Protein backbone atom coordinates (compact mmCIF):
# COMPACT_ATOMS: atom_id res chain seq x y z
CA UNK A 1 0.00 0.00 0.00
CA UNK A 2 2.69 2.43 1.08
CA UNK A 3 4.88 1.32 -1.79
CA UNK A 4 2.11 1.98 -4.25
CA UNK A 5 1.56 5.36 -2.69
CA UNK A 6 5.24 6.19 -3.03
CA UNK A 7 5.21 5.28 -6.70
CA UNK A 8 2.22 7.48 -7.18
CA UNK A 9 3.90 10.40 -5.46
CA UNK A 10 6.97 9.83 -7.60
CA UNK A 11 4.94 10.07 -10.76
CA UNK A 12 2.80 12.95 -9.64
CA UNK A 13 5.64 15.11 -8.33
CA UNK A 14 8.87 14.08 -10.01
CA UNK A 15 12.08 15.38 -8.45
CA UNK A 16 13.33 18.59 -9.98
CA UNK A 17 16.91 18.10 -11.13
CA UNK A 18 17.64 21.43 -12.77
CA UNK A 19 15.66 24.57 -12.29
CA UNK A 20 15.84 27.90 -14.04
CA UNK A 21 14.02 30.73 -12.29
CA UNK A 22 13.34 33.92 -14.27
CA UNK A 23 16.70 33.62 -16.00
CA UNK A 24 17.85 36.42 -18.29
CA UNK A 25 21.05 36.72 -20.24
CA UNK A 26 22.33 39.94 -21.74
CA UNK A 27 25.52 40.43 -23.68
CA UNK A 28 27.56 43.56 -24.12
CA UNK A 29 28.37 44.10 -27.79
CA UNK A 30 32.09 43.81 -28.40
CA UNK A 31 33.36 47.07 -29.87
CA UNK A 32 30.12 48.90 -29.15
CA UNK A 33 30.15 49.96 -25.54
CA UNK A 34 26.78 50.70 -24.04
CA UNK A 35 24.90 48.52 -26.49
CA UNK A 36 23.39 45.46 -24.89
CA UNK A 37 21.86 42.46 -26.58
CA UNK A 38 19.10 40.71 -24.72
CA UNK A 39 19.84 37.14 -25.75
CA UNK A 40 17.63 35.07 -23.56
CA UNK A 41 14.76 35.14 -21.16
CA UNK A 42 13.12 35.47 -18.88
CA UNK A 43 13.02 31.66 -18.81
CA UNK A 44 11.39 29.52 -16.15
CA UNK A 45 12.02 25.82 -16.54
CA UNK A 46 12.28 22.73 -14.36
CA UNK A 47 13.99 19.62 -15.66
CA UNK A 48 12.80 16.48 -13.96
CA UNK A 49 15.21 13.92 -12.62
CA UNK A 50 15.96 11.38 -15.33
CA UNK A 51 13.96 12.93 -18.14
CA UNK A 52 15.06 13.58 -21.69
CA UNK A 53 14.36 17.22 -22.41
CA UNK A 54 14.92 18.82 -25.79
CA UNK A 55 14.98 22.50 -26.64
CA UNK A 56 14.13 23.68 -30.14
CA UNK A 57 13.97 27.20 -31.45
CA UNK A 58 14.83 29.42 -34.38
CA UNK A 59 18.50 30.09 -35.02
CA UNK A 60 19.99 32.73 -32.76
CA UNK A 61 17.29 32.35 -30.13
CA UNK A 62 19.73 31.63 -27.32
CA UNK A 63 19.42 27.84 -27.15
CA UNK A 64 23.14 27.39 -26.73
CA UNK A 65 23.24 30.25 -24.25
CA UNK A 66 20.69 28.36 -22.19
CA UNK A 67 22.95 25.31 -22.18
CA UNK A 68 26.00 27.34 -21.24
CA UNK A 69 24.12 28.77 -18.28
CA UNK A 70 23.23 25.30 -17.04
CA UNK A 71 26.78 24.07 -17.63
CA UNK A 72 28.15 26.95 -15.57
CA UNK A 73 30.14 28.19 -18.57
CA UNK A 74 28.41 31.56 -18.34
CA UNK A 75 26.50 33.43 -15.69
CA UNK A 76 22.90 34.63 -15.86
CA UNK A 77 22.40 38.37 -15.88
CA UNK A 78 19.28 37.95 -13.74
CA UNK A 79 17.56 35.00 -12.17
CA UNK A 80 18.95 31.76 -10.85
CA UNK A 81 19.99 28.40 -12.27
CA UNK A 82 20.10 25.55 -9.79
CA UNK A 83 21.41 22.01 -10.22
CA UNK A 84 20.34 19.47 -7.60
CA UNK A 85 19.06 22.27 -5.43
CA UNK A 86 22.32 24.22 -5.41
CA UNK A 87 22.63 27.42 -7.42
CA UNK A 88 25.13 27.45 -10.26
CA UNK A 89 26.66 30.86 -10.49
CA UNK A 90 29.39 30.72 -13.08
CA UNK A 91 30.77 27.76 -11.17
CA UNK A 92 31.25 24.48 -13.01
CA UNK A 93 29.27 21.93 -11.01
CA UNK A 94 30.35 18.33 -10.59
CA UNK A 95 28.17 15.70 -12.16
CA UNK A 96 27.51 17.53 -15.41
CA UNK A 97 28.85 16.34 -18.74
CA UNK A 98 28.68 18.37 -21.94
CA UNK A 99 28.97 17.30 -25.58
CA UNK A 100 29.40 20.18 -28.01
CA UNK A 101 28.43 20.47 -31.64
CA UNK A 102 31.99 21.02 -32.78
CA UNK A 103 34.43 18.18 -32.66
CA UNK A 104 36.06 18.51 -29.26
CA UNK A 105 38.26 15.42 -29.36
CA UNK A 106 41.89 16.09 -28.52
CA UNK A 107 43.85 15.37 -31.71
CA UNK A 108 47.08 14.64 -29.85
CA UNK A 109 45.57 11.80 -27.81
CA UNK A 110 44.48 8.34 -28.88
CA UNK A 111 40.81 7.43 -28.57
CA UNK A 112 41.58 5.59 -25.35
CA UNK A 113 43.50 8.52 -23.87
CA UNK A 114 40.83 10.97 -24.99
CA UNK A 115 38.25 9.03 -23.05
CA UNK A 116 40.59 8.68 -20.08
CA UNK A 117 41.28 12.44 -20.01
CA UNK A 118 38.48 13.44 -17.68
CA UNK A 119 38.99 10.40 -15.49
CA UNK A 120 42.67 11.04 -14.89
CA UNK A 121 41.94 13.88 -12.55
CA UNK A 122 39.23 12.05 -10.64
CA UNK A 123 40.51 9.94 -7.79
CA UNK A 124 39.77 6.63 -9.40
CA UNK A 125 42.09 3.66 -9.31
CA UNK A 126 43.50 2.31 -12.52
CA UNK A 127 41.43 -0.85 -12.69
CA UNK A 128 38.15 1.02 -12.30
CA UNK A 129 39.30 3.60 -14.82
CA UNK A 130 40.09 0.95 -17.42
CA UNK A 131 36.82 -0.82 -16.72
CA UNK A 132 34.81 2.34 -17.33
CA UNK A 133 36.76 3.14 -20.49
CA UNK A 134 36.16 -0.40 -21.72
CA UNK A 135 32.43 -0.08 -21.12
CA UNK A 136 32.28 3.30 -22.86
CA UNK A 137 34.33 2.08 -25.83
CA UNK A 138 32.05 -0.88 -26.15
CA UNK A 139 28.86 1.13 -25.84
CA UNK A 140 29.99 3.62 -28.47
CA UNK A 141 31.26 0.91 -30.81
CA UNK A 142 34.82 2.15 -30.59
CA UNK A 143 36.54 -0.90 -29.08
CA UNK A 144 38.46 -1.63 -32.27
CA UNK A 145 39.69 1.97 -32.43
CA UNK A 146 41.04 2.45 -28.91
CA UNK A 147 44.57 2.99 -30.26
CA UNK A 148 43.51 5.15 -33.20
CA UNK A 149 43.80 8.90 -33.27
CA UNK A 150 40.91 11.28 -33.99
CA UNK A 151 42.38 12.29 -37.36
CA UNK A 152 41.96 8.70 -38.49
CA UNK A 153 38.26 8.60 -37.61
CA UNK A 154 35.12 9.89 -39.29
CA UNK A 155 33.20 12.85 -37.88
CA UNK A 156 30.56 10.59 -36.37
CA UNK A 157 33.16 8.45 -34.66
CA UNK A 158 34.93 11.50 -33.26
CA UNK A 159 31.64 12.69 -31.84
CA UNK A 160 31.21 9.26 -30.27
CA UNK A 161 34.64 9.67 -28.71
CA UNK A 162 33.43 12.92 -27.14
CA UNK A 163 30.26 11.26 -25.90
CA UNK A 164 32.30 8.41 -24.44
CA UNK A 165 34.65 10.87 -22.77
CA UNK A 166 31.66 12.51 -21.08
CA UNK A 167 30.04 9.20 -20.30
CA UNK A 168 32.93 7.71 -18.30
CA UNK A 169 32.75 10.48 -15.72
CA UNK A 170 29.24 9.19 -14.98
CA UNK A 171 27.48 12.55 -15.11
CA UNK A 172 24.04 12.85 -13.55
CA UNK A 173 23.14 15.53 -16.07
CA UNK A 174 24.20 15.28 -19.71
CA UNK A 175 24.05 18.44 -21.82
CA UNK A 176 24.07 17.97 -25.57
CA UNK A 177 24.60 21.09 -27.67
CA UNK A 178 23.50 20.07 -31.17
CA UNK A 179 25.86 17.12 -30.92
CA UNK A 180 24.87 15.66 -34.28
CA UNK A 181 24.68 18.95 -36.14
CA UNK A 182 27.68 18.19 -38.30
CA UNK A 183 26.67 14.64 -39.16
CA UNK A 184 24.71 13.16 -42.05
CA UNK A 185 21.10 12.07 -41.65
CA UNK A 186 21.63 8.31 -41.30
CA UNK A 187 24.43 8.78 -38.79
CA UNK A 188 22.23 11.19 -36.87
CA UNK A 189 19.46 8.64 -36.54
CA UNK A 190 21.83 5.95 -35.34
CA UNK A 191 23.57 8.33 -32.94
CA UNK A 192 20.14 9.25 -31.61
CA UNK A 193 19.53 5.59 -30.82
CA UNK A 194 22.86 5.40 -29.07
CA UNK A 195 22.07 8.44 -26.98
CA UNK A 196 18.69 6.98 -26.03
CA UNK A 197 20.40 3.77 -25.07
CA UNK A 198 22.92 5.63 -22.98
CA UNK A 199 20.19 7.66 -21.32
CA UNK A 200 18.33 4.48 -20.35
CA UNK A 201 21.42 2.74 -19.03
CA UNK A 202 22.78 5.65 -17.00
CA UNK A 203 19.52 7.08 -15.73
CA UNK A 204 20.95 10.55 -16.23
CA UNK A 205 18.89 13.62 -17.01
CA UNK A 206 19.51 14.77 -20.57
CA UNK A 207 19.14 18.28 -21.95
CA UNK A 208 19.41 18.31 -25.74
CA UNK A 209 19.71 21.52 -27.70
CA UNK A 210 18.85 21.00 -31.34
CA UNK A 211 17.59 22.84 -34.39
CA UNK A 212 16.10 19.64 -35.76
CA UNK A 213 12.40 19.23 -34.97
CA UNK A 214 12.57 15.56 -35.99
CA UNK A 215 15.42 14.92 -33.63
CA UNK A 216 13.60 16.55 -30.73
CA UNK A 217 10.35 14.69 -31.49
CA UNK A 218 12.21 11.42 -31.75
CA UNK A 219 14.37 11.57 -28.66
CA UNK A 220 12.74 13.67 -26.00
CA UNK A 221 10.12 13.14 -23.31
CA UNK A 222 9.36 16.83 -23.36
CA UNK A 223 10.27 19.49 -25.85
CA UNK A 224 10.68 23.13 -24.93
CA UNK A 225 9.88 25.45 -27.84
CA UNK A 226 11.67 28.77 -27.82
CA UNK A 227 10.77 32.09 -29.38
CA UNK A 228 13.00 34.26 -31.54
CA UNK A 229 15.50 36.42 -29.67
CA UNK A 230 15.27 37.16 -26.80
CA UNK A 231 14.51 33.46 -26.39
CA UNK A 232 11.59 32.60 -24.16
CA UNK A 233 9.83 29.29 -23.75
CA UNK A 234 6.58 29.59 -25.67
CA UNK A 235 5.41 26.05 -25.07
CA UNK A 236 6.39 22.66 -23.73
CA UNK A 237 5.28 19.68 -25.80
CA UNK A 238 4.99 16.26 -24.15
CA UNK A 239 5.75 13.42 -26.54
CA UNK A 240 4.49 10.56 -24.40
CA UNK A 241 6.97 8.03 -25.81
CA UNK A 242 7.75 4.89 -23.81
CA UNK A 243 11.18 4.78 -22.18
CA UNK A 244 12.46 1.95 -24.37
CA UNK A 245 12.02 3.70 -27.69
CA UNK A 246 14.26 3.97 -30.70
CA UNK A 247 14.40 5.75 -34.05
CA UNK A 248 11.71 3.45 -35.48
CA UNK A 249 9.06 5.59 -33.77
CA UNK A 250 9.63 7.97 -36.65
CA UNK A 251 7.20 5.81 -38.60
CA UNK A 252 4.41 6.28 -36.08
CA UNK A 253 1.54 8.63 -36.64
CA UNK A 254 2.09 10.42 -33.36
CA UNK A 255 5.58 11.38 -34.50
CA UNK A 256 4.21 13.27 -37.47
CA UNK A 257 1.68 14.97 -35.22
CA UNK A 258 4.40 16.13 -32.83
CA UNK A 259 6.67 17.55 -35.53
CA UNK A 260 3.66 19.24 -37.13
CA UNK A 261 2.76 20.82 -33.80
CA UNK A 262 6.36 21.96 -33.23
CA UNK A 263 6.45 23.56 -36.67
CA UNK A 264 3.12 25.32 -36.07
CA UNK A 265 4.62 26.81 -32.92
CA UNK A 266 7.89 27.72 -34.54
CA UNK A 267 7.05 28.90 -38.01
CA UNK A 268 6.20 32.45 -37.04
CA UNK A 269 9.22 32.66 -34.73
CA UNK A 270 11.54 31.37 -37.42
CA UNK A 271 10.26 34.00 -39.81
CA UNK A 272 10.86 36.63 -37.16
CA UNK A 273 14.38 35.30 -36.64
CA UNK A 274 14.99 35.66 -40.37
CA UNK A 275 14.01 39.31 -40.13
CA UNK A 276 10.60 38.90 -41.77
CA UNK A 277 7.57 40.27 -40.02
CA UNK A 278 6.06 36.82 -40.04
CA UNK A 279 2.49 36.71 -38.89
CA UNK A 280 0.24 34.06 -40.32
CA UNK A 281 0.64 30.65 -38.77
Partner 1 sequence: MSVPMKDGSIKRRPLKRGWTDTLLLVVLLLAVWQGLAWVIGAAELPSPFTTIAFTGRLLTSPSFWPHLLETAKAFGVALLLSVVIGLATGFLLGMNRFAGDLLEPVLVAVYSVPKITLYPILLLLFGLGIAAKVAFGTIHGVIPIALFTLAAVRNTRPVLLKTGRVMGLSTREMISGILLPAAMPEIFTGLRLGFSLTLIGTLLGEMFASQRGLGFMLMNAIGLHNVDVIMALTFLLVLFAGCASGFLLYLNRRFYQHV
Rg of the chain in Å (alpha carbons)? 19
Determine which residue in the list 50, 58, 150, 179 makes contact with partner 1, applying CB under 8 A: 150
The answer to whether residues 147 and 111 touch, using CB atoms and an 8 Å cutoff, is yes
Q: How many residues bind partner 1 (CB under 8 A)?
A: 26
What's the min distance (Å) between Cβ of 231 and partner 1?
Answer: 20
In DSSP terms, 83 is beta-bridged to 18, 86
Does 41 contact partner 1 by CB under 8 A?
no
What's the min distance (Å) between Cβ of 181 and partner 1?
Answer: 12
Question: What is the strand order of the sheet 32-48 is part of?
Answer: 32-48, 16-29, 78-83, 86-88
What's the min distance (Å) between Cβ of 107 and partner 1?
Answer: 5
Does 121 contact partner 1 by CB under 8 A?
yes
Determine which residue in the list 49, 60, 149, 197 makes contact with partner 1, applying CB under 8 A: 149
Left (φ > 0), alpha (ψ -120 to 50) or beta: where does 92 sit?
Answer: beta
Does 151 contact partner 1 by CB under 8 A?
yes
Buried b (16+ CB within 10 A) or exposed e, 218-236: bbbbbbbbbbbbbbbbeee
Does 87 contact partner 1 by CB under 8 A?
no
Determine which residue in the list 143, 152, 154, 281 makes contact with partner 1, applying CB under 8 A: 152
Binding mask 95-114 for partner 1 (x = CB under 8 A): -xxx-x-xxx-xxxxx----
Going from the C-alpha of 92 to that of each of 40, 41, 63, 103, 140, the distances in angstroms are 20, 21, 19, 21, 26
What's the min distance (Å) between Cβ of 73 and partner 1?
Answer: 6
Instruction: Determine the length of the chain.
Output: 281
- Where do contacts with partner 1 occur on this chain (CB under 8 A)? 71-73, 92, 94, 96-98, 100, 102-104, 106-110, 117-118, 121, 149-152, 162, 169
Amino acid sequence: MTAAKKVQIATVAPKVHVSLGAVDKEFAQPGRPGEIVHALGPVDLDLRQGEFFAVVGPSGCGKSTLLELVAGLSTATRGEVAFEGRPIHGRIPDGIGVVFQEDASFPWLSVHDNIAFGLRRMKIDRAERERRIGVALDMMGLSAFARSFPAQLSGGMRQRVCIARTLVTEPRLILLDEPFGALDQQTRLLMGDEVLNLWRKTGATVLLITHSLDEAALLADRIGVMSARPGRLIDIVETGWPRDRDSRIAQEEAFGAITARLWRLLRGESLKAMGKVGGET
